[in-house]
Structure 1
Protein backbone atom coordinates (compact mmCIF):
# COMPACT_ATOMS: atom_id res chain seq x y z
CA UNK A 1 0.00 0.00 0.00
CA UNK A 2 0.98 3.60 -0.52
CA UNK A 3 1.05 5.23 2.90
CA UNK A 4 2.02 8.58 4.39
CA UNK A 5 4.26 8.92 7.43
CA UNK A 6 1.15 9.21 9.60
CA UNK A 7 -0.47 6.08 8.16
CA UNK A 8 -2.91 7.67 5.72
CA UNK A 9 -3.69 5.58 2.65
CA UNK A 10 -5.97 7.80 0.62
CA UNK A 11 -4.51 9.04 -2.67
CA UNK A 12 -6.44 12.28 -2.40
CA UNK A 13 -4.63 13.01 0.86
CA UNK A 14 -1.17 13.51 -0.63
CA UNK A 15 -0.18 10.32 -2.43
CA UNK A 16 -0.22 11.09 -6.12
CA UNK A 17 1.67 8.46 -8.07
CA UNK A 18 4.97 9.36 -9.70
CA UNK A 19 6.88 7.47 -12.39
CA UNK A 20 9.13 5.73 -9.85
CA UNK A 21 6.33 4.45 -7.65
CA UNK A 22 4.27 3.47 -10.70
CA UNK A 23 7.20 1.41 -12.02
CA UNK A 24 7.55 -0.22 -8.61
CA UNK A 25 3.84 -1.11 -8.44
CA UNK A 26 3.89 -2.40 -12.02
CA UNK A 27 6.68 -4.81 -11.09
CA UNK A 28 4.81 -5.67 -7.90
CA UNK A 29 1.69 -6.63 -9.87
CA UNK A 30 3.78 -9.04 -11.91
CA UNK A 31 4.59 -10.96 -8.72
CA UNK A 32 0.96 -12.10 -8.40
CA UNK A 33 -1.73 -13.48 -10.64
CA UNK A 34 -4.78 -12.46 -8.59
CA UNK A 35 -5.85 -9.07 -7.25
CA UNK A 36 -8.11 -9.15 -4.17
CA UNK A 37 -10.02 -5.98 -3.35
CA UNK A 38 -13.03 -4.77 -1.47
CA UNK A 39 -15.76 -2.97 -3.37
CA UNK A 40 -14.44 0.56 -2.93
CA UNK A 41 -10.89 -0.24 -4.02
CA UNK A 42 -12.15 -2.33 -6.93
CA UNK A 43 -14.32 0.54 -8.17
CA UNK A 44 -11.49 3.08 -7.79
CA UNK A 45 -9.02 0.82 -9.62
CA UNK A 46 -11.52 -0.03 -12.35
CA UNK A 47 -12.28 3.66 -12.92
CA UNK A 48 -8.60 4.48 -13.30
CA UNK A 49 -6.97 1.41 -14.84
CA UNK A 50 -9.52 -0.48 -16.93
CA UNK A 51 -8.88 -0.28 -20.66
CA UNK A 52 -11.51 2.00 -22.22
CA UNK A 53 -13.92 0.49 -24.73
CA UNK A 54 -12.13 2.42 -27.46
CA UNK A 55 -9.03 0.34 -26.72
CA UNK A 56 -6.92 3.48 -26.38
CA UNK A 57 -5.55 4.68 -23.08
CA UNK A 58 -6.53 8.26 -22.14
CA UNK A 59 -4.21 11.15 -22.98
CA UNK A 60 -3.76 11.98 -19.29
CA UNK A 61 -1.81 8.74 -18.74
CA UNK A 62 1.96 8.94 -18.95
CA UNK A 63 4.12 5.98 -20.00
CA UNK A 64 4.46 4.65 -16.42
CA UNK A 65 0.69 4.70 -15.94
CA UNK A 66 0.06 2.95 -19.26
CA UNK A 67 2.58 0.26 -18.31
CA UNK A 68 0.80 -0.25 -14.98
CA UNK A 69 -2.61 -0.39 -16.65
CA UNK A 70 -1.36 -2.86 -19.28
CA UNK A 71 -0.37 -5.26 -16.50
CA UNK A 72 -3.42 -4.71 -14.27
CA UNK A 73 -6.18 -4.69 -16.87
CA UNK A 74 -6.03 -8.39 -17.88
CA UNK A 75 -5.33 -9.73 -14.37
CA UNK A 76 -7.81 -11.87 -12.46
CA UNK A 77 -9.62 -9.87 -9.81
CA UNK A 78 -11.58 -11.08 -6.81
CA UNK A 79 -13.92 -8.57 -5.20
CA UNK A 80 -15.32 -8.93 -1.68
CA UNK A 81 -18.63 -7.11 -1.44
CA UNK A 82 -22.03 -7.49 0.10
CA UNK A 83 -23.49 -4.69 -2.01
CA UNK A 84 -22.22 -5.15 -5.57
CA UNK A 85 -24.66 -7.02 -7.76
CA UNK A 86 -22.02 -8.02 -10.28
CA UNK A 87 -18.36 -7.49 -11.06
CA UNK A 88 -16.78 -7.76 -14.46
CA UNK A 89 -13.30 -6.63 -15.60
CA UNK A 90 -12.00 -10.19 -15.21
CA UNK A 91 -13.53 -10.25 -11.74
CA UNK A 92 -15.18 -12.78 -9.49
CA UNK A 93 -17.52 -11.52 -6.78
CA UNK A 94 -17.17 -12.94 -3.27
CA UNK A 95 -20.00 -12.53 -0.80
CA UNK A 96 -19.88 -13.58 2.79
CA UNK A 97 -16.81 -14.82 4.61
CA UNK A 98 -13.69 -13.18 3.14
CA UNK A 99 -11.45 -15.26 5.39
CA UNK A 100 -12.80 -18.45 3.85
CA UNK A 101 -12.47 -16.92 0.36
CA UNK A 102 -8.79 -16.13 0.95
CA UNK A 103 -8.10 -19.58 2.33
CA UNK A 104 -9.59 -21.06 -0.86
CA UNK A 105 -7.57 -18.69 -3.07
CA UNK A 106 -4.35 -19.58 -1.26
CA UNK A 107 -4.91 -23.25 -2.08
CA UNK A 108 -4.81 -22.50 -5.81
CA UNK A 109 -1.52 -22.73 -7.62
CA UNK A 110 -0.21 -19.46 -8.91
CA UNK A 111 2.19 -16.63 -8.28
CA UNK A 112 0.17 -15.17 -5.44
CA UNK A 113 -2.53 -12.77 -4.35
CA UNK A 114 -2.04 -9.02 -4.30
CA UNK A 115 -4.26 -7.38 -1.71
CA UNK A 116 -5.34 -3.78 -1.68
CA UNK A 117 -7.71 -1.49 0.14
CA UNK A 118 -8.25 -0.04 3.55
CA UNK A 119 -10.66 -2.25 5.50
CA UNK A 120 -10.06 -5.62 3.83
CA UNK A 121 -6.34 -5.79 4.74
CA UNK A 122 -7.22 -5.15 8.40
CA UNK A 123 -9.64 -8.08 8.43
CA UNK A 124 -7.14 -10.41 6.80
CA UNK A 125 -4.26 -9.22 9.01
CA UNK A 126 -6.37 -9.91 12.11
CA UNK A 127 -6.74 -13.51 10.91
CA UNK A 128 -3.05 -13.96 10.09
CA UNK A 129 -3.71 -14.32 6.36
CA UNK A 130 -1.22 -11.80 5.03
CA UNK A 131 2.13 -13.41 4.24
CA UNK A 132 3.94 -10.23 3.24
CA UNK A 133 3.30 -6.54 3.79
CA UNK A 134 4.65 -4.03 1.30
CA UNK A 135 4.46 -0.38 2.21
CA UNK A 136 5.50 2.43 -0.09
CA UNK A 137 6.00 5.21 2.44
CA UNK A 138 5.70 8.74 1.08
CA UNK A 139 7.46 11.57 2.98
CA UNK A 140 4.16 13.33 3.64
CA UNK A 141 2.10 13.89 6.79
CA UNK A 142 -1.50 13.98 5.59
CA UNK A 143 -3.09 14.79 8.94
CA UNK A 144 -6.39 13.25 7.88
CA UNK A 145 -7.90 10.40 5.91
CA UNK A 146 -8.31 6.66 6.29
CA UNK A 147 -5.46 4.88 8.02
CA UNK A 148 -4.01 1.54 7.03
CA UNK A 149 -4.85 -1.42 9.26
CA UNK A 150 -7.15 0.51 11.60
CA UNK A 151 -9.19 -1.95 13.61
CA UNK A 152 -6.85 -4.94 13.39
CA UNK A 153 -7.47 -5.59 17.06
CA UNK A 154 -4.63 -7.72 18.39
CA UNK A 155 -1.06 -6.71 17.78
CA UNK A 156 0.53 -7.97 14.57
CA UNK A 157 4.31 -8.21 14.83
CA UNK A 158 6.29 -7.80 11.63
CA UNK A 159 9.93 -8.26 10.67
CA UNK A 160 11.53 -6.01 8.07
CA UNK A 161 13.24 -8.03 5.33
CA UNK A 162 13.72 -5.40 2.63
CA UNK A 163 14.02 -1.64 2.52
CA UNK A 164 15.01 0.60 -0.32
CA UNK A 165 14.82 4.26 -1.08
CA UNK A 166 13.58 5.68 -4.35
CA UNK A 167 15.21 8.91 -5.60
CA UNK A 168 11.96 10.79 -4.91
CA UNK A 169 12.34 10.16 -1.17
CA UNK A 170 9.75 7.40 -1.13
CA UNK A 171 10.75 4.37 0.94
CA UNK A 172 9.73 0.82 0.01
CA UNK A 173 9.49 -1.43 3.06
CA UNK A 174 8.66 -5.14 3.04
CA UNK A 175 7.71 -7.05 6.15
CA UNK A 176 6.73 -10.59 7.04
CA UNK A 177 4.72 -11.56 10.09
CA UNK A 178 6.67 -12.82 13.08
CA UNK A 179 5.29 -16.15 14.18
CA UNK A 180 4.56 -16.49 17.88
CA UNK A 181 5.64 -19.60 19.68
Structure 2
Protein backbone atom coordinates (compact mmCIF):
# COMPACT_ATOMS: atom_id res chain seq x y z
CA UNK A 1 0.00 0.00 0.00
CA UNK A 2 1.35 3.42 -0.90
CA UNK A 3 1.05 6.53 1.18
CA UNK A 4 -1.10 9.24 -0.39
CA UNK A 5 0.28 12.31 -2.09
CA UNK A 6 -2.01 15.26 -1.35
CA UNK A 7 -1.99 18.67 -3.01
CA UNK A 8 -3.65 21.58 -1.21
CA UNK A 9 -3.60 25.25 -2.15
CA UNK A 10 -5.47 28.55 -1.98
CA UNK A 11 -6.85 29.64 -5.35
CA UNK A 12 -8.98 32.49 -6.70
CA UNK A 13 -12.09 32.05 -8.86
CA UNK A 14 -9.99 32.61 -11.98
CA UNK A 15 -7.44 29.97 -10.98
CA UNK A 16 -4.67 32.19 -9.64
CA UNK A 17 -2.43 30.70 -6.96
CA UNK A 18 -0.30 33.66 -5.91
CA UNK A 19 0.15 33.89 -2.14
CA UNK A 20 -0.54 37.60 -2.53
CA UNK A 21 -4.03 37.02 -3.97
CA UNK A 22 -6.95 35.86 -1.86
CA UNK A 23 -8.62 36.69 1.39
CA UNK A 24 -6.44 37.36 4.41
CA UNK A 25 -6.14 34.34 6.70
CA UNK A 26 -8.60 34.18 9.57
CA UNK A 27 -8.99 31.84 12.53
CA UNK A 28 -11.26 29.45 10.60
CA UNK A 29 -8.97 29.11 7.57
CA UNK A 30 -5.82 28.80 9.72
CA UNK A 31 -7.46 26.01 11.76
CA UNK A 32 -8.31 24.25 8.48
CA UNK A 33 -4.73 24.54 7.17
CA UNK A 34 -3.33 23.35 10.52
CA UNK A 35 -5.54 20.26 10.34
CA UNK A 36 -4.42 19.70 6.74
CA UNK A 37 -0.79 19.65 7.87
CA UNK A 38 -1.61 17.03 10.52
CA UNK A 39 -2.85 14.63 7.81
CA UNK A 40 0.71 14.13 6.53
CA UNK A 41 4.11 13.51 8.03
CA UNK A 42 6.12 14.93 5.10
CA UNK A 43 5.94 18.24 3.23
CA UNK A 44 7.16 18.42 -0.38
CA UNK A 45 8.01 21.76 -1.97
CA UNK A 46 9.90 23.24 -4.85
CA UNK A 47 12.50 25.91 -4.08
CA UNK A 48 10.15 28.91 -4.35
CA UNK A 49 7.50 27.47 -2.03
CA UNK A 50 10.08 26.13 0.41
CA UNK A 51 11.69 29.57 0.73
CA UNK A 52 8.29 31.28 1.03
CA UNK A 53 7.10 28.89 3.76
CA UNK A 54 10.42 29.01 5.62
CA UNK A 55 10.36 32.80 5.67
CA UNK A 56 6.82 32.91 7.02
CA UNK A 57 6.47 29.88 9.32
CA UNK A 58 9.89 28.85 10.65
CA UNK A 59 10.36 29.37 14.38
CA UNK A 60 12.69 32.34 14.85
CA UNK A 61 16.15 31.74 16.37
CA UNK A 62 14.93 33.49 19.53
CA UNK A 63 12.37 30.71 19.96
CA UNK A 64 9.60 33.29 20.30
CA UNK A 65 6.93 33.71 17.63
CA UNK A 66 6.61 37.27 16.28
CA UNK A 67 4.01 39.62 17.78
CA UNK A 68 2.16 39.88 14.44
CA UNK A 69 1.12 36.20 14.69
CA UNK A 70 -2.22 35.46 16.29
CA UNK A 71 -2.95 32.21 18.14
CA UNK A 72 -4.18 30.43 14.98
CA UNK A 73 -0.99 31.32 13.09
CA UNK A 74 1.18 30.17 16.00
CA UNK A 75 -0.71 26.85 16.07
CA UNK A 76 -0.08 26.41 12.32
CA UNK A 77 3.60 27.24 12.73
CA UNK A 78 4.01 24.87 15.65
CA UNK A 79 2.74 22.00 13.51
CA UNK A 80 4.70 22.95 10.38
CA UNK A 81 8.03 23.91 11.92
CA UNK A 82 9.15 20.43 13.11
CA UNK A 83 7.74 18.50 10.12
CA UNK A 84 10.02 16.70 7.67
CA UNK A 85 10.41 18.70 4.47
CA UNK A 86 11.64 17.56 1.08
CA UNK A 87 12.73 20.13 -1.48
CA UNK A 88 12.89 19.61 -5.25
CA UNK A 89 15.40 22.12 -6.57
CA UNK A 90 18.07 22.25 -9.23
CA UNK A 91 19.40 25.56 -7.86
CA UNK A 92 19.83 24.93 -4.12
CA UNK A 93 22.95 23.15 -2.86
CA UNK A 94 21.68 22.71 0.68
CA UNK A 95 18.60 23.22 2.81
CA UNK A 96 17.85 23.27 6.51
CA UNK A 97 14.64 23.57 8.59
CA UNK A 98 14.23 19.79 8.90
CA UNK A 99 14.60 19.58 5.12
CA UNK A 100 16.54 17.55 2.59
CA UNK A 101 16.98 17.92 -1.14
CA UNK A 102 15.46 15.32 -3.44
CA UNK A 103 17.99 13.55 -5.62
CA UNK A 104 17.55 12.92 -9.33
CA UNK A 105 14.35 13.08 -11.32
CA UNK A 106 11.56 14.46 -9.13
CA UNK A 107 8.84 12.22 -10.60
CA UNK A 108 10.92 9.08 -9.95
CA UNK A 109 11.86 10.32 -6.47
CA UNK A 110 8.21 10.92 -5.56
CA UNK A 111 7.20 7.49 -6.88
CA UNK A 112 9.77 5.97 -4.51
CA UNK A 113 8.63 8.17 -1.61
CA UNK A 114 5.03 7.07 -2.01
CA UNK A 115 6.14 3.44 -1.53
CA UNK A 116 7.55 4.16 1.93
CA UNK A 117 5.39 3.87 5.04
CA UNK A 118 3.80 7.06 6.30
CA UNK A 119 0.59 9.03 6.86
CA UNK A 120 1.03 10.93 3.64
CA UNK A 121 2.99 13.51 1.72
CA UNK A 122 1.62 17.03 1.33
CA UNK A 123 2.81 18.88 -1.77
CA UNK A 124 2.52 22.63 -2.15
CA UNK A 125 3.31 25.22 -4.74
CA UNK A 126 2.38 25.60 -8.40
CA UNK A 127 4.97 24.16 -10.80
CA UNK A 128 5.99 21.04 -8.85
CA UNK A 129 2.38 19.90 -8.28
CA UNK A 130 1.63 20.42 -11.99
CA UNK A 131 4.49 18.08 -12.92
CA UNK A 132 3.35 15.49 -10.37
CA UNK A 133 -0.29 15.76 -11.48
CA UNK A 134 0.72 15.31 -15.13
CA UNK A 135 2.53 12.13 -14.08
CA UNK A 136 -0.61 10.87 -12.29
CA UNK A 137 1.03 10.84 -8.86
CA UNK A 138 -1.33 13.07 -6.86
CA UNK A 139 -4.06 11.13 -5.08
CA UNK A 140 -6.03 13.99 -3.54
CA UNK A 141 -6.52 17.66 -4.40
CA UNK A 142 -7.79 20.27 -1.95
CA UNK A 143 -8.57 23.73 -3.24
CA UNK A 144 -9.62 26.57 -0.97
CA UNK A 145 -11.39 28.77 -3.52
CA UNK A 146 -11.51 32.45 -2.59
CA UNK A 147 -14.44 34.55 -3.87
CA UNK A 148 -12.43 36.99 -5.92
CA UNK A 149 -10.92 37.35 -9.38
CA UNK A 150 -7.19 38.16 -9.30
CA UNK A 151 -6.68 38.63 -13.02
CA UNK A 152 -2.98 37.79 -12.79
CA UNK A 153 -0.50 35.37 -11.31
CA UNK A 154 0.46 31.72 -11.61
CA UNK A 155 -2.45 29.46 -12.60
CA UNK A 156 -3.63 26.28 -10.92
CA UNK A 157 -2.32 23.17 -12.71
CA UNK A 158 -1.69 25.13 -15.90
CA UNK A 159 -1.41 22.78 -18.88
CA UNK A 160 -2.57 19.67 -16.98
CA UNK A 161 -5.61 17.72 -18.17
CA UNK A 162 -7.46 16.03 -15.27
CA UNK A 163 -10.89 14.72 -14.41
CA UNK A 164 -11.39 14.57 -10.67
CA UNK A 165 -14.07 13.21 -8.36
CA UNK A 166 -15.51 15.61 -5.75
CA UNK A 167 -15.38 14.04 -2.28
CA UNK A 168 -16.01 17.05 -0.02
CA UNK A 169 -17.24 20.61 -0.23
CA UNK A 170 -17.71 23.09 2.58
CA UNK A 171 -17.93 26.84 3.06
CA UNK A 172 -16.03 29.14 5.35
CA UNK A 173 -17.68 32.16 6.96
CA UNK A 174 -15.47 34.34 4.73
CA UNK A 175 -17.16 32.97 1.61
CA UNK A 176 -14.17 30.82 0.61
CA UNK A 177 -15.03 27.20 -0.15
CA UNK A 178 -13.04 24.04 0.40
CA UNK A 179 -13.32 21.66 -2.51
CA UNK A 180 -11.63 18.29 -2.03
CA UNK A 181 -11.21 15.90 -4.94
CA UNK A 182 -9.57 12.57 -5.52
CA UNK A 183 -8.00 11.28 -8.65
CA UNK A 184 -10.31 8.48 -9.80
CA UNK A 185 -8.71 5.06 -9.79
CA UNK A 186 -8.95 3.51 -13.24
TM-score range, shorter chain: over 0.9
- After superposition, the C-alpha distances for 1:49-106 in whole angstroms (9 at most, x for unaligned) are 0000000000110111000000000000000000001011000101431111111111
1:59 to 61, 67, 78: 67
Q: Which runs of 4+ in 1 moved over 6 A?
A: none
Counterparts of 2:57 and 2:107 in 1: how far apart (Å)?
Answer: 27
Counterparts of 1:71 and 1:65 in 2: how far apart (Å)?
Answer: 10
2:77 to 53, 62, 69: 69
Counterpart residue number, 2:107 = 99
Counterpart residue number, 2:182 = 176
- After superposition, the C-alpha distances for 1:30-57 in whole angstroms (9 at most, x for unaligned) are 0000000000000000000000000000
Counterpart residue number, 1:157 = 163
Contact 2:145–2:179 (CA under 8 A) maintained in structure 1: yes
* Offset at residue 20 of structure 1 (A): 1.2
Deviates more, 1:64-73 or 1:17-26: 17-26
What does 1:100-119 align with in structure 2 at a 5 Å threshold? 100-119=108-127
| Long gaps (5+) in structure 2 | 1-8
Deviates more, 1:100-109 or 1:27-36: 100-109
1:27 to 31, 35, 40: 35
* Offset at residue 170 of structure 1 (A): 1.0
* Offset at residue 15 of structure 1 (A): 4.0
1:8 matched to 2:16? The reply is: yes
TM-score under structure 2 length normalisation? 0.93
1:120 to 113, 117, 128: 128
Contact 2:85–2:98 (CA under 8 A) maintained in structure 1: yes
TM-score under structure 1 length normalisation? 0.95
Give the 3-state SS of the residue equivalent to 1:114 in structure 2.
Answer: strand
* Offset at residue 113 of structure 1 (A): 0.3
The alignment yields a C-alpha RMSD, in angstroms, of 1.0
| Long gaps (5+) in structure 1 | none
Give the 3-state SS of the residue equivalent to 1:164 in structure 2.
Answer: strand
Give the 3-state SS of the residue equivalent to 1:43 in structure 2.
Answer: helix
Give the 3-state SS of the residue equivalent to 1:51 in structure 2.
Answer: coil
Contact 2:11–2:17 (CA under 8 A) maintained in structure 1: yes
